């Protein structure tokens, strides 16, 4: 009996430091998760705004939210069911570009919108013609991009590789369009 009591007391003496270590470990884990959320997840949560740079180009004008959705819908002359959008105009070093980024309800809705855009241009758009499909390979990933001829520069559109519910339309009005497109693929 006395041996059992001594064992119980020994367990109690060891339990105190173990609980302390557990609380310290949980505290460190909570701090790591908080920092991860602030540095990694928070920038993605703000993805409804135009980034301040596109490669070496600097953001000079932007619209977002309801105003951007209205501008995108006006271009399409119909309601295209976006839940968010932003537009960013970039200038620098003799280069100019505008990115129109629309967020659909989900990846399937974005794919349907992309298909509708391709079909409309293929059927004979008054503003755009010469639809071409480009496949740009980066590492192991091949990205499908459409290019069209139209007013105001070279036009490209694609589903974002960063978020499959987003469609990007990039207009390059001056500069090396393919270089700017490659930069855009990394941030939009």
Which pLDDT does position 41 carry in this prediction? 43
Region 155-175 average pLDDT: 93
Tally of CB atoms within 10 A around 163 = 15
pLDDT at 109 over 90: yes
Distance CA 17, CA 97 (A): 61
Lowest mean pLDDT among 5-14, 61-70, 165-174: 5-14
Region 56-78 average pLDDT: 82
Distance CA 188, CA 184 (A): 6
* pLDDT mean across residues, the chain: 80
Q: How confident is the model at residue 8 (pLDDT cuts 50, 70, 90)?
A: low
> What's the predicted TM-score (pTM) here?
0.71
Distance CA 60, CA 2 (A): 81
How is residue 91 written in tokens? Answer: 């200038």
Region 96-115 average pLDDT: 93
Distance CA 121, CA 100 (A): 17
Q: Which has more pLDDT, 162 or 16?
A: 162
The H or E element spanning position 172 is strand 166-174
């Amino acid at each position: 009996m006395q041996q059992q009591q001594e064992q119980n007391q020994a367990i109690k003496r060891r339990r105190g430091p173990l609980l302390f270590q557990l609380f310290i470990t949980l505290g460190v884990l909570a701090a790591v998760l908080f920092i991860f959320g602030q540095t990694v997840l928070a920038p993605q949560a703000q993805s409804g705004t135009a980034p301040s740079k596109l490669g070496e180009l600097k953001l000079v004008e932007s619209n977002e939210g309801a105003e951007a959705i209205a501008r995108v819908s006006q271009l399409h002359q119909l309601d295209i069911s976006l839940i968010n959008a932003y537009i960013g105009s970039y200038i620098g070093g003799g280069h100019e570009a505008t990115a129109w980024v629309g967020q659909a309800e989900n990846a399937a809705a974005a794919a349907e919108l992309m298909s509708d855009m391709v079909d409309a241009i293929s059927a004979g758009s008054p503003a755009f013609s010469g639809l071409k499909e480009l496949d740009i390979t980066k590492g192991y990933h091949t990205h499908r991009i459409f290019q069209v001829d139209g007013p105001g520069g070279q036009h490209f559109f694609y589903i974002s590789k960063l978020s499959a519910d987003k469609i990007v339309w990039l207009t390059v009005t001056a500069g090396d369009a393919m270089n700017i497109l490659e930069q855009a693929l990394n941030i939009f």
